[in-house]
Amino acid sequence: MPISNWPRAIALVDMNAFFASVEQLDFPQLREQPVAVTNGERGTCIITSSYEARAQGIRTGMRLREARKLCPGIVQRPARPRRYAQVSTKIMGALACITPDIEIFSVDEAFLDLTHMLPLQQRDPEWLAQMIQRQVWNASSLPCSVGLSGDKTTAKVAAKQKKPKGITVVVPWQSAAFLAPLPVTDLCGINRGIGGWLEQRGVTTCGQMRQLPISELARRFGNPGRRIWYMAQGLDPEPVITTVADPKSVGHGKVMPPGTTDRRVVLTYLGHMTVKVAARLRHYELEASLFFFGLRTDYGWLGTKVRTTPTNDSHIIYEACIEFLRDEWRGEGISQIQVTALNPAQMQIQPDLFAVEDNRKQLLNRTVDAINSKFGALSIAPGILVQRSDMPDVIAPAWKPIGIRQTIE
């Protein structure tokens, strides 16, 4: 049956083992080898792995030490986030040639709304999915899987069914039956908390969602709850979102060695994040007067919000970090830190003629930014970072190929 008979068509493009595939593409000697990508040379946790490694039981999140027991020949590769972002940008550009109605969901996933093309398509849906795969391959020489259905949720689940290089088509009127046996927690956005709440009401699979009145979900979760009810039945009403909203925050975080209690090390990590947040604010001519600082301990997060004068100066933000550490931290072991500027706004471009010191700081910051842009991040850095250990960058979860979200943390 030609896809022109569909009322709506949404495709989800999911790159296969993306980071590992880029490594195998760039380094031919790694092809057909079990590859594990970690965060830097010293990384101990696997970010992703090639399908050759997965065939031997290697999984994302596994410790490298454990992986080597399962697969002694596994090849560790340090992540190269800027390279992955470069390849992803090229892929997203190629997909935009198919349809302008594209939502870049992450660095390796994108939704395509093909509905406007349907009246012109007399071919079957599989042909359209194959065309999308060819477009990705021609742009990157990398494999992807494609899920095609009538809504975003079903398309996303479908794309996971056949990997690598798979195509799964679910005609819209069969979406409910396709999803019915799957756990509700397989759906994007349904975490353990929501999943546990649903389980208490007898809903563990998508097919059981019909038993629960939509009003009960709406009372507990509002509009997102209503959407969950429709998602489980292959009727996800959310459109492909082609615009990128202005960020409500600008932040950077880092995972630390588990159980870190050395105050100097904690300050070094916080200093690194404040420098990155400040530089990013300045790059987009933003400033903020409210900052969140967080420390993840074995007992949960320690966090607070601190007000400052409107700023994008790392020294001011770092001083607030020191106060936060003094007031909130009692020496607990720390495994992760976070520094976030909340509600950033456009900075005052016109300098105050009487604020000589502020103008001098702005000029100094612009000079430092220019040098770091030319010679590499942190070529010039505060003294607290001189003794820093290797803190490799990663791609931010909200990465997008343009604008302020084009972020490598």
Residue 291 DSSP SS3: strand
Which is nearest to 383 in space by CA: 296, 285, 267?
267
Is 409 a known active-site residue?
A: no
Phi, psi of 131 (to 5 degrees): -65, -40
Give the Cα separation of 165 and 133 in Å (integer): 8
Residue type, 291: F
For the four alpha carbons of 227, 232, 233 and 238, in that order, the dihedral sign comes to positive
Residue 332, token pair as written in the block: 């607990």
Instruction: For residues 373 and 379, give the distance between their C-alpha atoms in angstroms, rounded to a whole number.
Output: 9
8 Å CB contact between 311 and 288 = yes
Cis peptide before 164 (omega within 30 of 0): yes
Phi/psi of residue 31, nearest 5 degrees: -65, 140
Q: Specify burial of residue 235 (Cβ count, 10 A radius: 0-12, 13-18, 19+).
A: middle
Q: What backbone phi and psi angles, to 5 degrees, belong to 23?
A: -60, -45
Give the end-to-end CA distance of the chain in Å, rounded to a whole number: 46
- Given the residues 23, 66, 109, 319, select the one marked as catalytic: 109
> Which three-class secondary structure state does DSSP give residue 19?
helix
Please tell me the distance from the alpha carbon of residue 186 to that of residue 189, in angstroms, as a whole number.
9
| Cα atoms in the Cβ-side hemisphere of radius 13 Å centred on 377 | 16
Coil, helix or strand for 298? coil
Q: Give the integer Cα–Cα distance in Å for 397 and 409.
A: 9
Query: Would you please indicate which residues are annotated as catalytic (active-site) residues?
Result: 109
